[in-house]
Amino acid sequence: MASTKAADQILKADVAGRVRTPLARREQILDEFERSGTSGVKFAALVGIKYPTFASWVLARRRKRGSSPVPASGGQAASPMRFLEAVVAAAAPKGEPAVLEVELPGGVRLLLDDPRQAPLAAALIRSLNARTAC
């Protein structure tokens, strides 16, 4: 194996020229990234690591910790993407308020008949979601 000097240590490279970064150094780099607030692409370029390699390190660390596997800009963990099934039953008859029915897991249903109720319903759903995530 050939070797490449990085900062104050010599890093080994294989015959294809790929540098083998020790686990301890990898962890230091990932710690720096989490504190940096920069995007993964910019940070990888800054420390001289190819982005696909760096992204695989970040993903492996997040999986190990049980955090979101989706890298976000700024070094912050992204919220996992969720899908919502929406079914439009029928339009409200003219003169009657439109009603939005939200069915939550466990059979709980919210009926919203005023747009001003939407922020309250959203806060309730976020609160319930936070409790189930713990």
Q: Does one domain contain both 88 and 58? A: no
Q: Does one domain contain both 121 and 101? A: yes
| Residue where the block lists tokens 């070797």 | 3
Q: Does one domain contain both 90 and 63? A: no
Q: Does one domain contain both 69 and 88? A: no
| Residue where the block lists tokens 């990888």 | 44
Q: Given pLDDT bands bounded at 50, 70 and 90, which one contains residue 22?
A: confident
Q: Domain limits at 15?
A: 2-75
Q: Does one domain contain both 89 and 61? A: no
- Residue 54: CB atoms within 10 A of its CB come to 22
How many domains does the chain contain in total? 2
Q: Given pLDDT bands bounded at 50, 70 and 90, which one contains residue 1?
A: very low
pLDDT at 30 over 80: yes
Mean pLDDT across the stretch 125-131? Answer: 77
Which secondary structure element, helix H or strand E, spans residue 103, and what is its range? Answer: strand 100-103
Please give the single-letter amino acid code of residue 63.
Answer: R
Q: Does one domain contain both 8 and 59? A: yes
Q: Given pLDDT bands bounded at 50, 70 and 90, which one contains residue 78?
A: low
**Which pTM does this prediction carry?**
0.43
Q: Does one domain contain both 14 and 51? A: yes
